[in-house]
A and B are shown apart, each in its own frame.
Chain A
Amino acid sequence: MKKTRIFVLVLVLTLIAAACGGDSDDTTTTAAAETTTAAAETTTTAAAAETTTTAAAETTTTAAEMVELKVDFGVDVEAKTIKIGQLADLTNFAAFAALVNPIIDGQKMYWDYVNANGGIGDGFMVEMVTRDTAYNPQQHIAAYDEIRDQVVAISHGTGSDTNLSIAEDLAEDHMILVPATWYSGWTDTNVAPGIVHTGAPYCLEAMSLLDWLKDEEAKGGNDAPTLAVASLPGDFGLDSVAGALKWAASNGIEVVYDGKGKILPGQDNAAIGSAIVESGADMVFVTTTPPTFGEVYGAALQQGFEARWTGAGPTYNPAFIGPDSPIAAPIQRDWYGGFYSKPWGSESAGMALIHQLYEEAGSTEPLKDYITLGVVEAMIVEAALRKAYANGDMTREGVFNALYSISDMDFMGIAPPENYTGSTADQVQRSITLYRPNQEDLLAGGSGAVIVQEDFVGPTAEAFEFTEACYTIEG
């Protein structure tokens, strides 16, 4: 009996250690707090005032420049910290954890860089408050409830359905959240205020990708290619496939297999691959998670099926072309990819900075394009914070209003500029980067994505009148 008790105690301790042992799981991270010249030249007097209004900054240059700073949640004028939340799938590797971990790494690198260069305003250091949501709506809701009063903004939220599950709370709290999803509803100003769009939405991405594939088919002499589509259920898959089906309708393309919403993680998805083979499609559009894509593609490949495959960005994982991957050769032949930000191999001031931060951090993360996405997400929140500080209002509502007054957000060339003002049609982003997978590039230290064309907008995507979300949630 005594042995049993000791064992149970040891087991409980082991469980606690296992739960707490992750690198980034459920942690509050303080990004590097070393400030350089910009911050050093600023003498700050945190003159505590009434509950929400504080004199936060008094510069040595001009006392008249002192800013009356309104704050509420997540901004500590005495400690000079700004807390930013992340609701991230860090552990569900059957979903998107493989892609989200490098996104969070990218954010950490960038916030470290921001802090090392003086932080926000007169030396506010940004701290990350990361919670693992495992791509589960219940955990997402619980995590948001836990951190909503600790943070001023959320710089990452994994998943469309998961973010939609907290959309009403976000709107009520005037909280901005940068989603790592490209659901077209984020651009629709009526759907989820506060959930910030970035990059081309799934449905327009689908149109541009299929415009590209159709051109490739035409180059090969096939002027009437057929299309097969398949996806996960939920907003991610259905929004993307909605774009593909709208594209097919507007181009007069026959859809020979419609597997919209039929891919289900945790089940045998080989039958979808077989159905695609049976359809004999020339082009296949699949939007799903990388592991389930592997199942569908593997089943089709097994039966000797060859076609041009494409799908929403997160469907593809560079691990497909890793050195020991059994599908490395065929996927290089078959996959035509698109991405929302610029790949690792692109040239811009922003990309040079990311390369530098990556090296300085000593990172070995292979999914480099997702590090870039993390930086893009952080840049959006950074811009909102800087503008809110300049406005003297760093309440959540102040940050919210600051973001939605920016019409020319610049990403130093690592992503197309964004507009957060005006109507849905004014705000929509149509541009994507086209790439082909390349193992040589991956083995040489690149991201494995060789750029075919930057800032690409297909003719169908260009002509599409985007005034509302391509797919709306039922019920």
Chain B
Amino acid sequence: MYKYDTYDHQMVRERIAEFRDQVERRIDGRLTEDQFKPLRLMNGVYLQLHAYMLRVAIPYGTMNSAQLRVLGRIAREYDKGYGHFTTRTNIQYNWPALTDIPDILDELAAVEMHAIQTSGNCIRNVTTDPFAGAAADELEDGRPWAEIIRQWSTFHPEFTFLPRKFKIAVNGASEDRAGLRVHDIGLQLVKNEAGETGFEVWVGGGQGRTPRLGHRIRDFLEPRDLLSYLTAILRVYNQHGRRDNLYKARIKMLVEAIGPEEFARQTEAEWDEIRDSNLVLPAEEIARIRAFFDEPPAATGSAIPATGRADFAAWLRRNRRDHKVEGLSSVVISLKPIGGTPGDITDVQLEAVADLAEKFGFDEARATPDQNLVLPHVRNSDLEAVFDGLVAAGLATANAGLATDIVACPGLDYCALANARSIPIAQSISNLIEAEGLSDQVGDVTIKIDGCINACGHHHVAHIGVLGVDKRGEEFYQITLGGNFGKDASIGNIVGKGLAGEDVPAAIVRALNTYLEIRNEKERFIDTLRRVGPDAFKESIYAAA
């Protein structure tokens, strides 16, 4: 894991002093709310329905036990005893006072964390595969590159007042668990014919009001050129991205307006001017950062334990993943208890995960885009102890990747932008699927729910998406089908008119039953849907109960 040096520490400390000063100036009137808002957002501070919300960065989703404990303490001391993991692998607190936030940032800084650029029209927290450094299908760990980008993008003097927010993801595995094609820039690690590692560059993806999949604008970029190439892309965007219309300001709209070929041409022309500038990454610095991300040693002779315990066996089947190192596994800690709030975790649970990560997980945990946690490195001989620890903490739900592993944005229960609630819908879908006993039969399927078109809950890329809308004071929910997150990414299509909230769970259960009726053997939900098309599912969704 990356360790701060004195430069990184000083940067974060100076940032806190700056924010403390900004809060003071807002309160005494030297800053107006209009001026303060973008500044607080760039420190992760939103003003939501009931209170301020603080979004803490978890760079590329990686945390150690000391950090988890501080996250737990913050939940207890400054909030109402819980936090919420997001689809961009950050954690949010829903109730902090503005005047406490500088102190919270101090607590975070002590364990090398911050809230820098977790919101605002700037380059946001860089995400990667939650199984980076562990996944059996990995070519190279994406995290060193994500860290290099984190540093380069922090307080970038030219790119801090962009037309709109800007999200970068790096993926180093053959499966895409980072969602490259729905990011402003997606970087896929690849090897060229000479066997050298480099990046495939994708630009112009994004969700929100007008979801778009990114376009590949370069097949191979040498690592030394990473920062100059990113600079070229951002410079073209900063100058030509639209600023007159909030809804057309993302880079995807610029790429669409001028075409990916023209966007690539402008980027390459700008890059030609700066590729040999002082933006070239020194090999020593690349090596220095890479050295922080070592793989754990092999645990030879340690096989997956055979067990007579049904609960442990079920959990192993659903929540364990293969590891690239012999004798190790990765495990998913589901934050989707049946009927709970997706992504929420209590102070005590954060501390329990910290203990397990420290004792059995080489002191590492990850946050995932599905709002779950992962212990990336666990010895197979420790799996049962981990499971027991999770059971004791109420974190052993064996549903990773199943229909009850629902992703949901905070929605109208918290968010000032939302039009409809999403968490209660997720809760009732989860409860009904559990009551019907459908989860295990249906197997892999993704259900994602949004309370507005900004799509923080990623409904566009869910097999079954749910989008809340408001019609004259009443909540309605549109169902989308056929979205997918990953290598074969796709955007879901709306099946028809919106449903009332109380009708959504039954409609989804009917769609899942339709799948069970018409699937071929070993076909996943998305495969069946792609094979037969949406009509049968659509019919079941609108079938009267």
Genuine A/B complex: no
